[in-house]
Structure 1
Amino acid sequence: MQTVLFLFPQLNLSAPKEEPYRIIKQENQEGKRETKNRLKDKRNRLSLLLQKAESREIFIPFPNKPEKANTSLDEPVKWGESLDKLLAHKSGLALFRAFLQSEFSEENIEFWMACEDYKRHKSPAKLASKAMKIYSDFIETDAPKEVNIDFHTKEVTKKNILCPTLSCFDLAQRKVHVLMEKDSYPRFLKSQLYKDLIKQSQVENNGHRRRSQSFTSAGLLQTQAEFTVWL
């Protein structure tokens, strides 16, 4: 009986079996390099923000009421004492907002600012539409900038806006303030951005003041816009 031997030249049995592993390993290395480049780009952008924050005159794009604020050399140190001191200062608020934008988590500070602006309204006729706008933007389920508050707070706020008063968002605003105080504010204080700003203030306090630069609201908005393109 004869043995028939079939040959399949298209099958390369001598090809290295680890080839798929090499491809995956190469893809992983490329992914790591891309991540490293993104982190480097983020550090460069934070450095750019720091350079702009060195200015001592900043216009804050606060809703309906932009105001000029002068930053003393000691102010950044005070911002580390409490979240309230940070938010009370126009320059601190602007820097904190830009930091949150860099983390894609600016909805809390924007809601807080919207509530502060809402409480300035003195016309009862405008309260209803303004309250509904804030509720639809930040409170209701699947809102475009939905803040992370509990169901009870949402329900209380929903009932409050049926007969809107200047205090109808107070509960929700307090809850969001607590969230920022426990979460994003400590990260801000630990960020290289804030550390570098403190270091810069200390240098200037020691007599090495640098020539101040002009920093307008347009410049701040441009800086904040740069954070939104981080991908």
Structure 2
Amino acid sequence: METPFVLFSQLNMCETKEKAFFKLIHGGLGKEEASKEAKTRVSPEEAVKWGESFDKLLSHRDGLDAFTRFLKTEFSEENIEFWIACEDFKKNKEPQQITLKAKAIYEKFIQSDAPQEVNLDFHTKEVITKSITQPTLHSFDAAQSRVYQLMEQDSYTRFLKSDIYLELIEGRPRRPTNLRRRSRSFTYNEFQDVKSDVAIWL
């Protein structure tokens, strides 16, 4: 009797956090997002708290997930992904990792024609560009603050009126979200089907 031999070519039990980071930065994560989304259950009471402040929304894992899904309907998810990347970046302690991750963030979100370029003024971009060869944990602070303000003043107010949020606070099942108009507040890039797993940053 022959013993069946099966290869699991994509199974990697030893993948490092660094590799996972670069997969996320370069849009290489798999299609787990939809299944995670389906399992998310938020109480209306919890969702109501997200309407009290933008900070409360972002500090809650499910709130961050719901807001990210909303931004995808407006083709502006690069803003929250950049903010999350900056939060993760500031946790690094090793100089080598700071340099590598700073370069990855710069290439994905900051440089001209970056795949998910965020809307920043010329001066802020110039400062980051000059410091990217010797980055510090504060290299992206000004840019992160700018993107945070854009989301809080623009996207957050629309999120609180969106079907995604209203259905959560009313306790109704979520309907599939359709892609909607692009927010005019953000830099336009051709939409690319780049998916990320937000949970890996938290």
TM-score over 0.5 for the pair: yes
Per chain length, whose mean CA-contact separation is higher, i.e. which structure has more relative contact order (CA < 8 Å, sep 6+)? 2
Pick which of 99-108 and 157-166 moved more. Answer: 157-166
How far residue 90 of structure 1 moved from its aligned partner, in angstroms, is 0.5
Q: Give 2:157's aligned residue.
A: 186
Question: CA contact under 8 A between 2:40 and 2:62: conserved in structure 1?
Answer: no
Q: Give 1:55's aligned residue.
A: 41
How far residue 53 of structure 1 moved from its aligned partner, in angstroms, is 6.9
Q: Give 2:139's aligned residue.
A: 168
Unaligned runs of 5+ in 1: 1-47, 57-71, 202-209, 211-222
TM-score by length of 2: 0.64
Q: Give 1:63's aligned residue.
A: none
Structure 2 residue 71 is matched with structure 1 residue 91: no
How far residue 172 of structure 1 moved from its aligned partner, in angstroms, is 0.3
Q: Give 1:103's aligned residue.
A: 74
How far residue 54 of structure 1 moved from its aligned partner, in angstroms, is 5.9
Structure 2 residue 170 is matched with structure 1 residue 199: yes
Question: CA contact under 8 A between 1:76 and 1:198: conserved in structure 2?
Answer: yes
* Larger Rg belongs to: 1
- 1:131-150 equivalence runs, <5 A: 131-150=102-121
SS in 1 for 2:41: coil
Paired AA for residue 96 in structure 1: F
TM-score by length of 1: 0.57
Q: Give 1:30's aligned residue.
A: none
Q: In structure 2, how many angstroms separate the alpha carbons of the residues matched to 1:155 and 1:92?
A: 33
Structure 2 residue 135 is matched with structure 1 residue 155: no
How far residue 123 of structure 1 moved from its aligned partner, in angstroms, is 1.2
Moved over 6 A (4+): 226-229
Unaligned runs of 5+ in 2: 1-33, 180-191, 194-202
Are the structure 2 counterparts of residues 92 and 53 from structure 1 closer, same or farther at C-alpha, using a change threshold of 3 Å? farther
How far residue 124 of structure 1 moved from its aligned partner, in angstroms, is 1.1
Q: In structure 2, how many angstroms separate the alpha carbons of the residues matched to 1:97 and 1:53?
A: 16
Q: Give 1:80's aligned residue.
A: 51
SS in 2 for 1:195: helix
How far residue 73 of structure 1 moved from its aligned partner, in angstroms, is 4.7
SS in 2 for 1:143: coil
SS in 2 for 1:159: helix
Paired AA for residue 137 in structure 1: K
Paired AA for residue 55 in structure 1: R
Q: Give 1:121's aligned residue.
A: 92
How far residue 150 of structure 1 moved from its aligned partner, in angstroms, is 0.4
Paired AA for residue 187 in structure 1: R
Paired AA for residue 200 in structure 1: G
Greater helix content: 1
Are the structure 2 counterparts of residues 128 and 134 from structure 1 closer, same or farther at C-alpha, using a change threshold of 3 Å? same
Question: CA contact under 8 A between 1:53 and 1:95: conserved in structure 2?
Answer: no
Are the structure 2 counterparts of residues 53 and 187 from structure 1 closer, same or farther at C-alpha, using a change threshold of 3 Å? farther
Query: How many residue pairs are counted as aligned between the two chains?
Result: 145
Q: Give 2:148's aligned residue.
A: 177
Question: CA contact under 8 A between 1:79 and 1:92: conserved in structure 2?
Answer: yes
SS in 1 for 2:171: helix
Question: CA contact under 8 A between 2:78 and 2:117: conserved in structure 1?
Answer: yes
Q: Give 1:34's aligned residue.
A: none
Are the structure 2 counterparts of residues 198 and 75 from structure 1 closer, same or farther at C-alpha, using a change threshold of 3 Å? same
